[in-house]
Structure 1
């Protein structure tokens, strides 16, 4: 498959306000899930869901579980990691992320926004953080997907905070003129 340019959503644009967000890291074998606090400032791991649904399948238990988590946490927004390379191009993994996002959105009947977030290097960052905290590689396999979901969601939350801060406090461009 040729690399295609894929554009993620912008954190904070069309923001639904305060409330929990759910972050999702889609893999071919497992799906990592994280949630935020109600203030949308801190991401924490939730669970790892075994991946069951393929492209041509009807929704299986993995989609059911993701929708149940979203409802349990009373989420106001769902953030699905969009795997891209450093140049911003997608790979076959993008199809998996888009497919899961589409299925979740369909099951939620569009009542909660499902966004695609840039997840470049999220698994690398999660792996580094786990190793730094003393988690062995073998033990880390059980939680790496959750840790990647935390990285995706925390990055979104930080981007959201920056976006909303810029909207409410635009930088003044005439600072130098005032000093003279």
Structure 2
């Protein structure tokens, strides 16, 4: 199995996680920071990371409203996925509801300071997205 990248795309940041070669464990990789809504810059950075890591598959968080509807943020993720696919990247959109809340809770439980949480929250959300995808792929829940 090849490594997979997980993305948590926001309006100014994109948290990135990567799997191990066996596709069992997700870990934080980095956070891409860009000007508000400058997704072209974000795309360039993500493509560079994909090339450096020799990864051809991405799990991209799809933000949905709690009732399952897709809003503006969700449409931005769908458009971003299409741009990645145009570059030959396989993209799986993954429901990311509550991943940031869950990541924040984990960091608080780990006694991570507010300042440090702000720096890694996007990466941790990407880890949550990717790990839940990997668990499902490997017969977990």
Q: Report the TM-score when normalising by structure 1.
A: 0.72
Q: Find the aligned partners of 2:68 and 2:132 in 1 and give their Cα distance.
A: 16
Provide the aligned C-alpha RMSD in A: 1.8
Per-residue CA deviations over 1:104-161 (Å, capped at 9, x if unaligned) read: 222x2x2x31111111110011000111111122220111000000000001000111
* Stretches of 4+ aligned residues off by more than 4 angstroms: none
Equivalence for 2:23: 40
1:45 Cα offset (Å): 0.6
Equivalence for 2:67: 87
Equivalence for 1:120: 97
Report the 3-state secondary structure (helix = DSSP H, G, I; strand = E; otherwise coil) of the residue aligned with 1:81.
strand
Alignment gaps of 5+ in structure 1: 1-17, 164-180
After superposition, where does 1:92-171 map in structure 2 within 5 Å? Answer: 92-106=72-86, 108=87, 110=88, 112-162=89-139
Report the 3-state secondary structure (helix = DSSP H, G, I; strand = E; otherwise coil) of the residue aligned with 1:126.
helix
Q: Find the aligned partners of 2:78 and 2:32 in 1 and give their Cα distance.
A: 17
Report the 3-state secondary structure (helix = DSSP H, G, I; strand = E; otherwise coil) of the residue aligned with 1:89.
coil
Whichever structure has more helix as a proportion of its residues is 2
Alignment gaps of 5+ in structure 2: none
The number of residue pairs the alignment matches comes to 140
